[in-house]
Structure formats: C-alpha cells, structure tokens
Amino acid sequence: MNKHRVPRRLQYQRILGARLHAIRSLKKIDRAQLARRHGFSPAMLCKIEQGERCPSPGALLTLCDTFGVDLFGLLVDVAERYRAERLSLDIGDYHFASPEVRRLDALALYQGFPEHRLPAGPILPIGAPMPDDKPVSEMTLAELLANQLDQESDDTDAAATSSSSA
C-alpha cells in the first residue's frame, strides 16, 4: 500500500467538508453563529469542514437546511468528486447512471459501503479485475453489512500496516 495514499473514508470526508465549507462561505454564514444557532460546537464544525470528522445524518441535514441546499444534491456532488479522484476520471463520467442510482450511490458512499458494492458500480483501480461476487441487487441486507464490515476491517488492517512500517 502506498503510504502517501489517503484512506478512502478520510478522502470522502475531506471532499464533503470542503463542499460544506465552500457553501457556508458562499452564503457568508459565520461558523460561530451557525454553531450557536444549532447547538454545535465551533470545533466540531471546523473538524467537519477540514475533513477530520464526518457529520452525523442529523447534523448534515441541519447544515443543508440552514444553507438552503438539497441534501441529495450535495451528496451526489460529493460522490461525483470522490469517484473522479479515486478513478482519476472527469466528473462527467459519473453521469452515465440514472439520477436515482446516483442518489443511492451517494448515500452508500456517505454510509461507508465497500467500494466494490456501490450501486453505480465498483470503484476499482484502472485495470483491476472485477470481483466475482453477486451484484448488489441480488444481495441480502446481511450480506451487504457483512461485506461492509469486511471492507472496514481490510482498511483498518492496511492502515495499521502502513503506520507500523512508517
């Protein structure tokens, strides 16, 4: 594993945080006022915007409502950017999927589903073989959750290996 590669969850959080920061700045909303108004700590909002923490679903919904942006629109935008970074593709390449599939894909990414199980197709390095697994549409919820736990375990093992070799 390349020790300079950002773990996928942190990369997603960084993109989401940057988008939230850009929207807040565009709307000229002060972070401290936003925190006071909604009961967040300014430090938590700072960590979210810097990609150090992913907002809870409730916090994300509150932020979207406050900013006047569509939750699904934001998540699809973040998913497009994330896929483009992970695959080194143009953002436009993601538009092959229907709007419904892109929304499901965006929700799955937000929830941390394994990249090879995403509704809009796997995120695999160019040239990597496709897994010989069942399509997501044929999997049970238990199988999806088990695969998510396997992927998180793999990510944790890889992170531990890279930090111990550094």
What pLDDT, in 10s, does the model give residues 71-88?
999 999 999 899 888 775
| pLDDT, tens only, 12-51 | 999 999 999 999 999 999 999 999 999 999 999 999 999 9
Q: What is the dihedral of CA 19, 25, 30, 33, to 10 degrees?
A: -40
Structural domain tally of the chain? 1
pLDDT at residue 62, rounded to an integer: 95
- The answer to the question of residue 148 being in a domain is yes
Provide the domain limits for residue 124. 8-165
Give Rg (Cα) of the chain. Answer: 17
- The answer to the question of residue 2 being in a domain is no
Give me the chain's average pLDDT, please: 79
- The answer to the question of residue 1 being in a domain is no
User: Chain centroid to CA 99: how far?
Assistant: 17
Task: Tell me the two tokens of residue 18.
Answer: 């940057």
HSE at residue 67, side-chain half, CA atoms within 13 A, is: 23
Task: Tell me the two tokens of residue 105.
Answer: 């894909």
- The answer to the question of residue 3 being in a domain is no
Which comes out higher in pLDDT, residue 89 or 113?
Answer: 113
- The answer to the question of residue 151 being in a domain is yes
- The answer to the question of residue 125 being in a domain is yes
CATH number at residue 137: 1.10.260.40
Q: Has this prediction a pTM greater than 0.85? A: no
